[in-house]
Amino acid sequence: MQAQLDLRSNYFITELNKLYFLYVYNTTLSDTHSYKFIESVRLNNRLTLTATELIDQLVDIKTDDVKRNQSYLRSIELIGVLDSLRSRVDFIIATAPGGAHPSANIEQLLNKLSKESMRHLTTDLTSVMQSRSSNAFDGFYRYIISIDKASAIFVNNSYALELHELEKKISISRVQLYGMISLCWLLALYIVMPILVFSSKISLWLTLTNKNIMKLSQGDLEISPDNSIMTGELSAISDAINQLRQNQIEKHLLENEKQELINELLEASSTDPLTNIYNRRKFFNQCSQITEKDYPLAFCLIDIDNFKRLNDRYGHDVGDLALIAFSQMLQQSLPKSTVYCRYGGEEFAILIKYEDMQQSMKIIDAVRHRTEMLRIAIPNKPSVGFTISCGLARLDDYQNINHSIKQADEALYYSKKRGKNQVSFYSPSGFISFDANDKNT
């Protein structure tokens, strides 16, 4: 930390020499406060992009067995990027005018980028990689939300500081202007009128500038254009206001893009990447939101018969096509209000309205029958089909869902044991089967 804050280091000497050259030879450049504000916006953008990509990589680690090693290495690189951003915050603090922090929450942001936080992130990443722990994944998401909030406050406070400095400049200009007006009254009459005209234009400029600043402070980006003839100093202030407006526009655009990315990530975290239907996590989340009046329900577990043999004989690509075809059939056959998901591997779960046992089995048997009609095209070979085995159990409330899952799994095993391509319902008195010819046994 001391090395990072040492202004005599080669890094800071080089950066300060660049700034000194720019401010000495380019008088139209923004002042130090404006530079800090722009730097804070850039830092916020980098934090947002890095954090967003990190969440994306974590989703791949958890859901994509093929890319998870590559995503794990990329996640380590992104944590390194977050760690490196701390030096940029240190630089902003070290070069702040008068030794003042550009943001009141600077310590909070530094804490989020501390070595300890990076160690926690690395530990959580290892946990996600080894066990795919949901707690570790949720910890990452909470960290991203917290650092996003801290960065947003940092940018807003930097913007407030820039606005405050701008108002100070206008106040000083106003005092100087009124002093000049008082002195002009003592001059000869033949120069009074030109001075009055000039003062009137300046007063109008100040009024317009003040209104524009008030609009910007309230988030209104529709400021009035200034077409008056001004001195170089006043023109620089107007340019700074226009630059501030442009920065606000860019900030709003970045926030909109960030929200779109967050929405895409939320969608990706709830959808199975292969079949494009709900994953297991989203399925249980939807189940927990079902109201009491919608019960009882029937919980169904479905397993594709002989799926390993299908993969071994025709290849995993054909197996993937079978999963996709079955998922598309579910989307086309079931009502939109039906909750279903890819439960894992070649297993699927469906939650349907329970009216009676026979009606529930009839609905699922229709799914089984449509599955028999599916065909998977294979180049230069005859197309292949597949069947499914199904197990159902009654679900009276969400608290008993694990019990119903176990019962449905036993019913599924019973269907497999009877020769597969069957629908079975768990009941306290025994298993009830609905065979391929719609006959009860």
CATH number listed for the domain at residues 280-434: 3.30.70.270
pLDDT tens string 364-409 = 999 999 999 999 888 888 889 999 999 999 998 889 899 999 999 9
pLDDT recorded at residue 112: 72
List pLDDT tens digits, range 162-202: 666 667 777 787 787 777 877 776 676 666 566 666 666 66
Torsions phi, psi for 35 (to 5 deg): -60, -40
- Please tell me the predicted confidence (pLDDT) of residue 132: 62
| Of the candidate ranges 18-22, 25-29, 181-185, 203-207, the one whose mean pLDDT is the lowest | 25-29
The predicted structure's pLDDT at residue 172: 80
Taking a C-beta distance cutoff of 8 angstroms, is the pair 398, 382 a contact?
no
Contact predicate 305/389, CB 8 Å: yes
At 83-140, the pLDDT tens digits run 777 777 777 766 665 555 445 566 777 677 777 777 777 777 777 777 665 666 677 6
Mean pLDDT of the chain: 75
Contact 392, 425 (CB under 8 A): yes
Phi, psi (rounded to 5 degrees) for 348: -130, 155
Domain regions of the chain by residue span: 2-270, 280-434
Q: How far apart are CA 91 and CA 84, in angstroms?
A: 12
436, pLDDT greater than 70:
no
Identify whether the C-beta of residue 276 lies closer than 8 Å to the C-beta of residue 362.
no
Output the pLDDT for position 55.
75
CA nearest to 31, candidates 126, 161, 127:
161
431 versus 436: the higher-pLDDT residue is 431
Lowest mean pLDDT among 4-13, 60-69, 383-392: 4-13
- pTM across the whole model: 0.44
Angle subtended by helix axes 10-25 and 68-94, to nearest 10: 60
Most confident of the following: 50-64, 243-257, 262-276, 399-413: 399-413
Helix, strand or coil for residue 375? coil
Residue 390 has what pLDDT?
A: 95
End-to-end CA distance of the chain: 76
Whether residue 7 has pLDDT greater than 50: no
